[in-house]
Amino acid sequence: MQIPEKLEAALSDQVTMELAAATTYLQLAIELESLDLTGMASWMRAQSEEERVHADKFIAHMVDRGSTPKIGTIEGPQLEVSIAVDAFEAALAHEQHVSASIRDLYRLAESEGDLDCRPLLHWFLDEQLEEEATVGEIVNRLKLTGDDGGGLLRMDAELGARNPAVQGDNE
């Protein structure tokens, strides 16, 4: 089934948003590296790659249905990171923004009668719940560590042990 024009434009916008998310996570990795939190930076880099995979999922769906996605303008993120929790709070806010966009896409697909988008959008709804929960937990744990340098370094090591092949997309 051909994608309705309005939905096609919104899906292209989502591709752009996913690529912008990848850029945001990459910038957050850079910020954390500048704080010598290389484990957390590694976690952010893995997250950046996962966001590129998400963009590819939308692209594949569109191409499979005869559409040509159009990538919009992606501006560099403007972030203020002076401590680790700043980075993860920015990540959480960004994930919440992406989640809202996915829900809007779902509503649009429903209003356009596009049943073929359902499996893709259901996958993303589930994925976003997981993303927000994971980043939210990290934010809460960082807040618990407060000024405890040892606790921060333990979290840095833990997050640096992330295996992208295991925690990445389960297709």
- Please check if 89 is assigned to a binding site: no
Residue 109 forms part of a structural domain: yes
At residue 164, the pLDDT reads 61
Number of domains in the chain: 1
Residue 171 forms part of a structural domain: no
Instruction: Of 87, 32, 89, 23, give the one whose Cα is nearest residue 52.
Output: 23
pLDDT digits (tens, 9 = 90+) for 76-111: 999 989 999 999 999 999 999 999 999 999 999 999
Average pLDDT score over the chain: 94
* Residue 158 tokens, joined: 């833990």
| pTM for this entry | 0.91
Instruction: Of 3, 170, 168, give the one whose Cα is nearest residue 70.
Output: 3
pLDDT digits (tens, 9 = 90+) for 19-45: 999 999 999 999 999 999 999 999 999
Residue 170 forms part of a structural domain: no
- Please check if 131 is assigned to a binding site: no
At residue 75, the pLDDT reads 92
- Domain membership of residue 91 as a residue range: 5-165
- Please check if 51 is assigned to a binding site: yes
Alpha helices in the chain (DSSP H): 5-34, 38-64, 84-111, 118-145, 149-160, 164-167
At residue 97, the pLDDT reads 96
* Residue 17 tokens, joined: 């948003």
Mean pLDDT of 50-77: 97
CATH number at residue 145: 1.20.1260.10
- Please check if 132 is assigned to a binding site: no
pLDDT digits (tens, 9 = 90+) for 137-148: 999 999 999 989
What is the percent of the chain with per-residue pLDDT over 90, rounded to a whole number? 91
Mean pLDDT of 113-137: 97
At residue 163, the pLDDT reads 67
Three-state secondary-structure class, residue 75: coil
Q: How far apart are CA 29 and CA 33, in angstroms?
A: 6
- Please check if 96 is assigned to a binding site: no
Residue 168 in this model has a pLDDT that exceeds 90: no
Instruction: Please say whether the beta carbons of 25 and 43 come within 8 A.
Output: no
